[in-house]
Structure 1
């Protein structure tokens, strides 16, 4: 138990419960839910596994130390007393990301600057030299979080946000964030036990995430690198063992996953991204207009899609959303259809009563993930059987 330590996984609003479940399923200890974060305990190998496998985490932080600070001198002294030479050498670079929720401190840039000064001054006093800052590709990413007067300094084990999966090289005007897509799929109950359709697939993100969930493929398998690979305690052998063990849990998928878009350019990009993710065997991308389509398969169908919002893509909202409702009602019996939108007014024009509404955020836009259940025959008949 001695080699277990506390870590914090950051996530998007509304995904805390599903991230906590992911962590428990992976084997995390002492999982606790916070606001857009879930804390847990694990060892070095588990930190590697969390970065590799979690679908709804944005970053995995490893807290070093917390202390109450009342002013900038307290902050400076606190940071300067941390044994930075255990984490960083003179030849390496570092970067600081600060978040502040405090009445004492109100400027995250100022906190970053003070933290940088304290680290640099510690090295100067001890060695006469200092490590450099590199905001783009640092060897060590440091996270400083101040909640009122409590300052927590952490190492960022992920580096760039974990939504950068590594497979998406081609994008459209308004691509959906990969973590958001995975979270929506998990919230919708997608588990790979039936056929799947994204009827407005854009660059293919939803279909790719759906396939990775269905086959239990590690979310960040295609990612180029994680920040922990530059740490002084980086253990390549251990990481390769974790990766191999995770790949041994990949399972077969015996249904179809289809992504459709009416824009030829989107279809081309989606095909490239599916190829990058090595999922050609599981996903079919094709050109087509959802409003002119019908359900092509027998049996249950799971639909999850992200229609244009009118925020970044021009649409006639009333007509567009009423067409969504008409198409689902007339052409897609035996379907659970989920869609995300931030346009609550347009949603009214779907003309169907949602059976679920879940509040989420798409970037800074408050949105709803809504579910429409399309029954085979009439709803009345279903409940009489």
Structure 2
């Protein structure tokens, strides 16, 4: 964590995200009023007051978790870890009746086992409560109320309260999903990375359970990322301010608006169509997103401008002829039906994407789960690229 300047107000906070989304998350945080914003590997460090902590949990689309460090110190062995964790005034942070859970990550440290680090942290917290209150809080992985994060790197230990609880990608709108659905935070990050100006169609012709079009609708209509969630972990902290939290939600509700262009979701699979329909209805967006049960080539552009964004199957083996033909077909449809649009495709198999037969304008490395992927942009000019360039000049 970066050194702090003396005049900076507020508290240290850390936002976790996926690799490749650090920049867009930093921009989101700054737009919400965060100061001293600095990116790291899969994290963004920043400072802010308590209302900002609530805001970023509720509004940030590309954050996975928001952590509030409560202790930073050096540890070289298990006794040092236990003793220093025990010095933190845990009873001032949460009530003994709250169930808590500890997660730990360890890198390049003399303490090598994350499970053991979590166990020693739990012991120190529980022992401190017993000494101060005569009672021990329950440790539970099932429906905990207090989430504690331990991060040790090169013997530097950061203990944080996780203000989010469940990962922020769990928006609350998805009630149906097929195998390995696109993560909501990744989908929101893809939309931000595309630079979508919210002028024209947004089309996902292979929508699966509907994550991309739902995230696009929420972005376009300024529906908060956490709008459908029922709870955040900071609501169980001792210093929680219900009135401040209510003000944050009311202010955000006042920003929700309409979107005048079509958002189109389609899938040739009736099963995927059914799941997308369930999720759209659960989100109350079934009247705002046009949902179709059609193959890609039957999806028609409406406004004549906008973007397509989708996550086609990509397989593992390049020798799969069906896969190659699929990507050739994607290229043919893009060239013949969507001139004037931008297409953004995420794939975990960049080699098969070459069969689209279009020159990429941009490639961005992202991770879809553990799979290194590419978000690829194709600009679908009306006429030749040379003619378009001459007109722009």
Q: Structure 2 length normalisation: TM-score?
A: 0.94
User: In structure 2, how many angstroms separate the alpha carbons of the residues matched to 1:185 and 1:336?
Assistant: 12
In the other structure, the counterpart of 1:284 is 290
The 3-state SS of whatever aligns with 1:132 is coil
Report deviation, 1:229: 1.2
1:306 aligns with 2:348: no
Q: CA deviation at 1:87?
A: 1.4
Match of 1:381 in 2: 387
1:159-194 residue CA offsets vs partner (Å, 9 max, x unmatched): 010000000001112310000000011101123121
The answer to whether the aligner puts 1:369 opposite 2:375 as a matched pair is yes
> What is residue 211 of structure 2 aligned with on the other side?
205
Answer yes or no: is the 8 Å Cα contact 1:318–1:346 preserved in 2.
yes
C-alpha root-mean-square deviation of aligned residues, in Å? 1.7
CA-to-aligned-CA distance 1:332-358 (integer Å, 9 cap, x gap):
111100000011221121111101000
2:154 aligned residue (145, 148, 156): 148
- State the Cα distance separating 1:227 from its structure 2 match: 0.6
| 205-214 or 119-128, larger mean C-alpha shift | 119-128
Cα shift at 1:327? 1.2
Extract unaligned runs of 5+ from structure 1.
none
1:326 maps onto 2:328 in alignment: no
Q: 1:170 aligns with which of 176, 197, 200?
A: 176
C-alpha deviation, 1:124, in angstroms: 2.5
Contact residue 200 and residue 303 of structure 2 kept, 8 A: no
1:79 aligns with 2:85: yes
1:133–1:362 Cα change, 3 Å: same
> What is the Cα deviation at residue 71 of structure 1?
1.0
Whole-Å separation in 2 of the counterparts to 1:381 and 1:44: 54
Measure the CA separation in 1 of the matches of 2:170 and 2:11.
26
2:131 matches 1:108? no
Contact 1:94 1:140 (8 Å CA) reproduced: yes
- SS state of the match for residue 125, structure 1? helix
Q: Secondary structure of 1:259's match?
A: strand
Within 2, Cα distance between the matches of 1:361 and 1:179? 11
The superposition leaves residues 254-303 of structure 1 with CA deviations (integer Å, 9 ceiling, x where unpaired) of: 1000000001111111111111112233211110000x325432421201
Q: Is 1:342 the counterpart of 2:314 in the alignment?
A: no
After TM superposition, the runs of 4+ consecutive aligned structure 1 residues lying more than 3 A away are: none
Q: Is the 8 A contact 2:204 2:266 kept in 1?
A: yes
Q: In 1, distance between residues paired with 2:133 and 2:321?
A: 62
Contact 1:97 1:143 in 2 (8 A): yes
The question of whether the paired residues in 1 share the 8 Å contact of 2:74 and 2:156 is answered with yes
Deviation at 1:225, TM superposition (A): 0.8
Cα deviation code 1:22-63 (max 9, x no counterpart)? 001111111111111111111111111100000000000000
Q: Is contact 1:169–1:273 with CA below 8 Å preserved after alignment?
A: yes
Aligned to 1:360: 366
Task: Give the structure 1 partner of residue 4 of structure 2.
Answer: none
CA contact (8 A) 1:191 1:213 kept: no
Deviations, residues 358-380 of structure 1 (Å, cap 9, x unaligned): 00000000000001111112222
2:285 aligned with 1:254: no
Corresponding position: 1:90 with 2:90 = no
Residue 126 of structure 1: SS of its match in structure 2? Answer: helix
Q: Aligned partners of 2:203 and 2:292: how far apart in 1?
A: 11
Query: Aligned residues, how many?
Result: 383
Cα shift at 1:210: 0.5
Report if the CA contact (8 A) 2:96-2:135 is conserved.
Answer: yes
Contact between 1:191 and 1:214, CA under 8 Å: does it hold in 2? no
1:315 to partner: Cα distance: 8.3
Per mean C-alpha deviation after superposition, the further-off stretch among 259-268 and 114-123 is 114-123
How far residue 384 of structure 1 moved from its aligned partner, in angstroms, is: 2.6
1:67 aligned to which of 65, 68, 73: 73
TM-score, normalised to structure 1's length? 0.96
